[in-house]
Amino acid sequence: QKEVEQDPGPLSVPEGAIVSLNCTYSNSAFQYFMWYRQYSRKGPELLMYTYSSGNKEDGRFTAQVDKSSKYISLFIRDSQPSDSATYLCAMSPNQAGTALIFGKGTTLSVSS
């Protein structure tokens, strides 16, 4: 079983839709969880960063972590064509200096 699983998509939605992106993981030691957005031919950009379980909201984006289920989600409300990108989840255990473990990314396309 891979440490982090992420459905690659592609996921296609109309403008204004609510988008749900998800990752599952197997290592219960993961404590830090991140979502990155990557536009085509660009470097990943940090979108959301959460520690342990719970929700975090930033504008149209909400990140959820359910450590009991080893499941994290990113919700995008009122999706826009500019949200079309690949979304990567990443996570890390508590130890300092440990590298991030990334999902392979989900490609999202929002049509106008």
Partner 1 sequence: SQTIHQWPATLVQPVGSPLSLECTVEGTSNPNLYWYRQAAGRGLQLLFYSVGIGQISSEVPQNLSASRPQDRQFILSSKKLLLSDSGFYLCALRLAGGREQFFGPGTRLTVL
Residues at the interface with partner 1 (CB under 8 A):
8, 32, 34, 36, 41-46, 49, 51, 88, 90, 92, 96-97, 99-100, 102-105
Burial 76-91 (b: 16+ CB within 10 A, else e): beebeeebbbbbbbbb
Complex with partner 1: residue 16 or 39, whichever CB lies closer: 39
Q: How far is the CB of 32 from partner 1 (least distance, A)?
A: 4
Q: How far is the CB of 19 from partner 1 (least distance, A)?
A: 20
Q: How far apart, in whole angstroms, are the C-alpha atoms of residue 101 and residue 6?
A: 12
Pick from 59, 74, 82, 91: nearest CA to 21: 74
Complex with partner 1: residue 76 or 88, whichever CB lies closer: 88
Complex with partner 1: residue 31 or 73, whichever CB lies closer: 31
